[in-house]
Amino acid sequence: MKIAIPVIDKNLNSSVDASFGRTNYFMFYDTSTKESVFVENSAKNNPGGAGIKAAQTIADNGANALIAVRLGQNAANVLQNAEIKIYKATDGSAKDNIDALIANNLSTLSDFHKGFHGRN
Amino acid sequence: MKIAVLSGKGGTGKTLVSVNLATVAKSSTYIDCDVEEPNGHLFFKPTILAEKDVSVKIPKLNPKLCTGCRRCVDFCKFNALAIINNKPIIFDEVCHSCGGCVLVCPEKAFSEIDKSIGKVQMGKSGNVDIYTGILNIGEATGIPIISNLLSNKQDTLDKPVIIDCPPGSSCIVMESIKDADYCVLVAEPTLFGVHNLNMVYELVTLFKKPFGVVLNKCLDGDNPAELFCIEKNIKILAHIPFDPELGKLNSEANIVVKHSDKYHNLFSSLLEKIITEVANEATTNS
Amino acid sequence: MKQLLILSGKGGTGKTTIASAFIKLGSIKTYADCDVDAPNLHLITKWETEPQKADYYGLQKAYIDKEVCIKCDQCVLNCRFGAIEAGDFYKVNTYSCEGCSVCEYVCPTGAITMRPSVDGEMMLYSEKDEVFSTAQLKMGSGTSGLLVTEVKKRMKSASTNTNLAIIDGSPGIGCPVIASLNGADMVLIVAEPSISGINDMERIILTAKHFDMKIAVCINKYDINLENSQKIEDFCKAENLPFVGKIPYDSNAVKAVNNGQTIVDVDCISGTAVKSVYEKTINLLLN
């Protein structure tokens, strides 16, 4: 399983970024190889539609699951279309969250906010 | 004659001034361009004569023609398109209606459909024709509504058009004053008010619009907004005092000139002054 | 660190006056002004040091190289925003340009390119353990949701405080407001007892309810209209929204602000009233 998490720094001990669309990096962790790959978030400075573009990055990198603090409706639509499961992040580092997911201790995230639209 | 009423700061009295100016004229048109939070209609309580939807164009995909090439997704600067399993998904509210995806698709898989973003209400109250623009909650830009509001409005010296602008100096404000003949800047006598007055002062100067200032909520003592006008040699058109009676009438959405001779005179003089200023501009520039 | 956001819906209700009073009362060391269109908080929080400034870039805007332009009109015909001005030299009106790049795409000679556009300026004041983040959007700009997010981000990165941050919000219900709601733990709505004010208060409450946070309401200048003030209190009761108090209209408040002071720096009725509003709000936030 490939798990995606928005992270502030490029390492497993980084805290989870509360913002999905404007996080610095996405970590993709492969549970079989135990390897992590860090991808820069190209949506970070986009004035609008950041959640959508970030979700596209998650889908393009072949993730099966995403762990996030919160998510906008638009980003959720993209992920759900790609059948990527969305989990609510718990306190702790990215590693803590991955461990929690593997142990089946994370609940699904289903409450999505309206998003910021990004227009004047 | 199109008169735009604006202020950098919210709550200074744009609607107070616009609504009352429109009412003292023998005949006028009032246009509420504050499409996010229109308030003029609360004062006029107009009889609604007609309502028109305002729509923008958004793309519609013909999936049979789509090859999943992603050119549309990569082109869109607003991230309004995503692609999953070779099928583009369109996000209406993020779309800016630029038509780019339609152009770049090599298979011509996109057509365009209308999407309503709000409406324009046309009504009448006494001698005033009232146009109210209302943006649907969640929609982003009110610019198409403002363009619609301002087009094709009967406009003569005998029947001035009063434009109640949104607060601030962002692009919706610019859109509202684009065709104005004269701008009335409403300022309150506070430090905050002056800071924001300066912003709209820069705006009207940039657009080379003739303008004057109405000082509202005037108290005794120093008036920083007045000092600003004196410093910059800006014409002060009127002083409206801070008056609890005026405040109360206004807070009940009453049109004050209908309830008070004093204010009827004040706003009539203000309107006359503006008409004179516009006429002077016309002669100076001819 | 908990975030308290102050919003109103309608402009001119007193957000900044109240925010500055709260900052003084709580000796708050971390605060931001998210009214990037018309920021005012810096006028009342006396900083003597210069801020760190940074440019804020919005969407890129189109630029026409007149040496390469052949005036074929393709850009004019395809621009949906009327942003291209034809003439002796074809020019892009940067106020109308929305950065879609359709003109760049259709131009047959490559005369059009997209260039970075500075849409505003961010300012970060910091001294010892106090941090104040603000920004000014340039005239005619849009995309202010992102700028608000940046202002808050800079405040958080620079702050060593773990207690409470106060965010002075912007009027309206649009993007800048939504961006400021994201991440807040509580929002205090400052209501004005006028028909317009009540109308706008209801809209902002609807917007805030979408977010998972505490909402409280207070009334400023309540004695302009006592019946309307009562209506607001009744509304709060009906909606189960905590009502944290009311502040009278006070000409001394204006005088204080004009001298760059908060209403709790001088002896006045609004200053006295705001103390109780502050205590009730903080109590709600921390419990």
pLDDT digits (tens, 9 = 90+) for C11-28: 889 999 999 999 999 999
Find chain B residues with C-beta within 8 A of C13's C-beta.
Answer: 11
Q: Quick one: pLDDT at residue B112?
A: 97
CB contact (8 A) between residue C101 and residue B8:
no
- CA B158 to chain C, closest CA, distance in angstroms equals 30
3-state secondary structure of B30: strand
Find chain C residues with C-beta within 8 A of B99's C-beta.
Answer: 78, 80, 102
Q: What are phi and psi of C244, to 5 degrees?
A: -105, 10
Least confident of B112-116, B157-161, C162-166, C223-227: B157-161
- CA A33 to chain C, closest CA, distance in angstroms equals 34
Q: Is there a shared CATH topology between the B2-54+118-285 domain and the B63-108 domain? A: no
The answer to whether residue A94 neighbours chain B at the CB level (below 8 Å) is no
Amino acid letter at C29? Answer: K
Nearest beta carbon to residue C105 from set B104, B192, B248: B104
Mean pLDDT, rounded, for C95-124: 95
Amino acid letter at B49? Answer: L
Cα(B47)–Cα(C107) distance, integer angstroms? 49
| SS3 assignment for C230-266 | HHHHHHHHHHCCCEEEEECCCHHHHHHHHCCCCCCCC
B179-188 pLDDT per residue, tens:
899 999 999 9
Cα dihedral: B159, B161, B164, B168 (round 10) = -140
Q: Quick one: pLDDT at residue B266?
A: 97
Residues pairing with C7 in the sheet: C189
**Interior/surface letters C81-108, b for 16+ CB within 10 angstroms, e for the rest:** bebbeeeeebbbbbbbbbbbbbbbebbe
CB contact (8 A) between residue B37 and residue C200:
yes
Find chain A residues with C-beta within 8 A of C179's C-beta.
Answer: 116
| pLDDT beyond 50 at A120 | no
CB contact (8 A) between residue C182 and residue A19:
yes
Nearest beta carbon to residue B219 from set C197, C228, C254: C254
Interface test with A, best of B79, B86, B175 (most A CBs within 10 A): B79
Quote the pTM value.
0.84
Contact (CB, 8 A) for B12 and B190: no
Cα dihedral: B243, B248, B252, B253 (round 10) = 0
Mean pLDDT, rounded, for A41-55: 91
Nearest beta carbon to residue A47 from set C58, C182, C211: C58
The answer to whether residue C138 neighbours chain A at the CB level (below 8 Å) is no
- CA A48 to chain B, closest CA, distance in angstroms equals 6
List of residues 6+ apart from C106 with CB closer than 8 A = B103, C74, C75, C78
Find chain A residues with C-beta within 8 A of C175's C-beta.
Answer: 116-120
Residue of C nearest to A50 (CA): C146
Find chain B residues with C-beta within 8 A of A81's C-beta.
Answer: 82, 84-85, 89
CB contact (8 A) between residue B250 and residue C99:
no
DSSP string spanning A57-103?
Answer: HHHHTT-SEEEES--BHHHHHHHHHTT-EEEE--SSBHHHHHHHHHT
The answer to whether residue C102 neighbours chain A at the CB level (below 8 Å) is no
**CATH dotted code for B2-54+118-285:** 3.40.50.300
Cα(C287)–Cα(C284) distance, integer angstroms? 5
Q: Quick one: pLDDT at residue B222?
A: 82
CB contact (8 A) between residue A82 and residue B85:
yes
Contact (CB, 8 A) for B30 and B79: no
Q: How many other β-carbons are positioned within 10 Å of the β-carbon of residue B268?
A: 16
Closest CA to C245 of C273, C283, C271, C286: C273
Cα(C178)–Cα(A116) distance, integer angstroms? 6
CB contact (8 A) between residue B191 and residue C197:
no
CB within 8 Å of chain C, chain A residues 71-110: none
CB contact (8 A) between residue B192 and residue C224:
no
Q: Quick one: pLDDT at residue C211?
A: 74
B49-88 pLDDT per residue, tens:
999 999 999 999 999 999 999 999 999 999 999 999 999 9
**ipTM for the assembly:** 0.89
Find chain B residues with C-beta within 8 A of A53's C-beta.
Answer: 79, 82
CB contact (8 A) between residue B251 and residue C254:
no
CA dist list (Å): A52 to A43, A110, B111: 8, 17, 22
- CA A92 to chain B, closest CA, distance in angstroms equals 31
CB contact (8 A) between residue C196 and residue B10:
no
The answer to whether residue B138 neighbours chain C at the CB level (below 8 Å) is no
Exposed / middle / buried, residue A92 (Cβ in 10 Å: 0-12, 13-18, 19+): middle
Residue of C nearest to B138 (CA): C174
- CA A18 to chain B, closest CA, distance in angstroms equals 21
Q: How many other β-carbons are positioned within 10 Å of the β-carbon of residue C67?
A: 8
Contact (CB, 8 A) for A24 and A7: yes
CB contact (8 A) between residue B94 and residue A46:
no
List of residues 6+ apart from C48 with CB closer than 8 A = none
List of residues 6+ apart from A30 with CB closer than 8 A = A1, A2, A36, A37
Cα(B214)–Cα(C97) distance, integer angstroms? 32
Tens digit of pLDDT per residue, chain B (286 long)? Answer: 999 999 887 788 999 999 999 999 999 999 999 988 888 999 999 999 999 999 999 999 999 999 999 999 999 999 999 999 999 999 988 899 999 999 999 999 999 999 999 999 999 999 999 999 998 876 777 888 999 999 877 777 789 999 999 888 878 899 999 989 999 999 998 888 888 899 899 999 999 999 999 999 998 888 899 999 999 999 999 999 999 889 889 989 999 999 999 999 999 999 999 999 988 887 776 5
Domain boundaries in chain B? 2-54+118-285, 63-108
Of 3.40.50.620, 3.30.70.20, 3.40.640.10, 3.40.50.2300, which CATH number belongs to B63-108?
Answer: 3.30.70.20
Nearest beta carbon to residue B11 from set C10, C95, C258: C10
Cα(A118)–Cα(C142) distance, integer angstroms? 9
Cα(C117)–Cα(C275) distance, integer angstroms? 44
| pLDDT beyond 70 at A115 | no
Q: Locate the DSSP E strands across chain C.
A: 2-7, 30-33, 52-57, 61-64, 84-85, 91-92, 112-115, 118-127, 130-137, 164-168, 186-191, 214-220, 243-247
Residue of C nearest to B34 (CA): C172
Interface test with A, best of C138, C146, C153 (most A CBs within 10 A): C146
Q: How many other β-carbons are positioned within 10 Å of the β-carbon of residue B249?
A: 20
Find chain C residues with C-beta within 8 A of A113's C-beta.
Answer: 182, 210-211
Cα(C77)–Cα(C211) distance, integer angstroms? 42
Nearest beta carbon to residue B79 from set A53, A59, A77: A53
Q: How many other β-carbons are positioned within 10 Å of the β-carbon of residue C73?
A: 11
